[in-house]
Copies of this chain bind each other. A is one copy, B any other.
Amino acid sequence: MNNKKKISIVLFSGDFDKAIAAFTIASGAAAVNYEVNLFFTFWGLNVLKKTKGRSAIGKGFLARTFNFLMGGFKNLPLSRLNFAGISPKLLTGLMKKRNVATLQELINAAIQLNVNLYACEMSINILGLKKEDFIPEVKEILGVAKFLNLSEGGEIIFI
């Protein structure tokens, strides 16, 4: 029986600012000894794609087109005031200037603090992707039932 406090975060959004929020909560919680599960679904999968830029990965023409349009880590937009992708760069600049961890640093911290990264089976299926399309730190691809099971007894947050 595991008595650790637990928090599970579903990152559905692929927005730059919301990814920062998810990893800030995740690494902050892990730092105070929570068990943390991060479950990436649909747009959120962009954060984990191995190819950082736009890339037509996936099975089938439609999926390849959609994945290309979705982009990857380098194309995460700000949820508002994106200005064609300039704002995420400005915000990263501001974060460096203030000595606040950038998104990439937050992700690294989360991984080092043993935050569990999971990817959503159904989204991956729809987008024609496979486990190899994601960074190797993704622990498992799983569905809703398994996710609920892992989250049991803790908080669930949807971002």
Tell me which residues from 7 to 51 in chain A have a Cβ below 8 Å from any Cβ of chain B: 7, 10, 12-14, 17-18, 21, 24-25, 28-29, 31-32, 34, 41-43
Query: How many chain A residues touch the partner (CB < 8 A)?
Result: 54
Task: Report chain B residues within 8 Å CB of A158.
Answer: 21, 157-159
Q: Is A1 an interface residue (CB 8 A)?
A: no
Q: How far is it, in angstroms, between the C-alpha of A43 and the C-alpha of B25 when the chains are bound?
A: 16
Establish whether residues B144 and A28, one from each chain, have CB atoms under 8 Å apart when the complex forms.
yes
Q: Report the minimum CB–CB distance from A158 to chain B (whole Å).
A: 5
Q: How far is it, in angstroms, between the C-alpha of A95 and the C-alpha of B127 when the chains are bound?
A: 9
Establish whether residues A81 and B69, one from each chain, have CB atoms under 8 Å apart when the complex forms.
yes
Q: Is A93 an interface residue (CB 8 A)?
A: yes
Task: Report chain B residues within 8 Å CB of A14.
Answer: 80
Task: Report chain B residues within 8 Å CB of A34.
Answer: 148
- A positions within 8 Å CB-CB of B: 5, 7, 10, 12-14, 17-18, 21, 24-25, 28-29, 31-32, 34, 41-43, 60, 62-63, 66, 69-70, 77, 79-81, 90-91, 93-95, 97-98, 100, 122, 125-128, 143-145, 148-149, 151-152, 155-159
